[in-house]
Structure formats: C-alpha cells, structure tokens
C-alpha cells in the first residue's frame, strides 16, 4: 500500500504538468475569445468619430450602456480598434463562461498546490 501512495504525489504532478500546456494558450485575448463565444458582436471603428469615441472609452472594461431604449454591454479594445457589443443574454453567457473558466483554473491551481504539499511526507513513515 505504501508503494501505491508513494507514487501518488508524482502522479498528481504529472497530471498537472499535462494540463498546464492547455492553460498556457490563454493569453490576454482570452476575455475577447469568451465575449465572441458568448455571442457578442464585433464592431470595428472605421470613421474618425468612432476612433475618437473609442479613445475615450475605458479600455478592456465591461460597460453597461443604454442605446435606443435597450441595455447593452460594451467592451472596448482600442489596440485593435473595435468594440464588442451584446445584450443581457450575451452578457449572462459571458459571465457564466468566465466563471467556469476561473473555476477550472482554480481547480488546476489547487491540484498543483496539493501535489506540492503531498510530496515529501513519506519520510515520516505511516501515521
């Protein structure tokens, strides 16, 4: 039984190492990937007025605005000269997807932490 448990920390470390490359693919654009997947529309700034307005929006922050009597959610990316626009349904989907992504990342961090804690305890023998 001790041999099986002795290899457990190594197995956890290998599992975490196998999962980490998938997380490395999440770059700063992951928020925008989630926005697109949630159904937000991309609107590219093409006119001088749009570019000027985009320059005054808070970058990379979600804003709730009212336009034509409807609540809209807008996320500005001034570096790419575009905005993401969605309604309540898209915003709710975005929040749910972001929460699921964060929970998954937290689970991975917990597994790594537990693997680090678990290693080395075999020096104490059975207890």
pLDDT by residue (tens digit) across 39-73?
999 999 999 999 999 999 999 999 999 999 999 99
Q: Does residue 83 surpass a pLDDT of 90?
A: yes
Domain ranges (residues) in the chain: 2-124
* The pTM of the whole model exceeds 0.75: no
- State the pairing for strand pair 82-86/41-44: antiparallel
Share of the chain above pLDDT 90, in %: 50
Q: Measured between alpha carbons, how far is 30 from 127 in angstroms, rounded to an integer?
A: 45
pLDDT by residue (tens digit) across 91-112?
999 999 988 888 777 776 766 6
Work out the widest C-alpha separation in the chain, in whole angstroms.
72
User: What's residue 71's pLDDT?
Assistant: 94
Q: Measured between alpha carbons, how far is 62 from 125 in angstroms, rounded to an integer?
A: 53
């Amino acid at each position: 039984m001790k041999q099986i448990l002795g290899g457990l920390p190594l197995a956890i470390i290998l599992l975490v190492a196998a999962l980490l490359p998938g997380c490395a693919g999440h770059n700063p654009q992951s928020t925008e990937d989630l926005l697109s997947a949630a159904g937000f529309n991309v609107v590219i700034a093409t006119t001088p007025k749009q570019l000027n307005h985009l320059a005054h929006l808070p970058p990379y922050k979600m804003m709730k605005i009212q336009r034509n009597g409807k609540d809209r959610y807008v996320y500005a990316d001034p570096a790419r000269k575009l905005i993401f626009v969605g309604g309540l349904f898209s915003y709710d989907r975005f929040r749910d997807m972001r929460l699921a992504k964060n929970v998954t990342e937290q689970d991975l961090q917990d597994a790594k932490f537990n693997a680090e804690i678990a290693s080395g305890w075999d020096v104490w023998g059975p207890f």
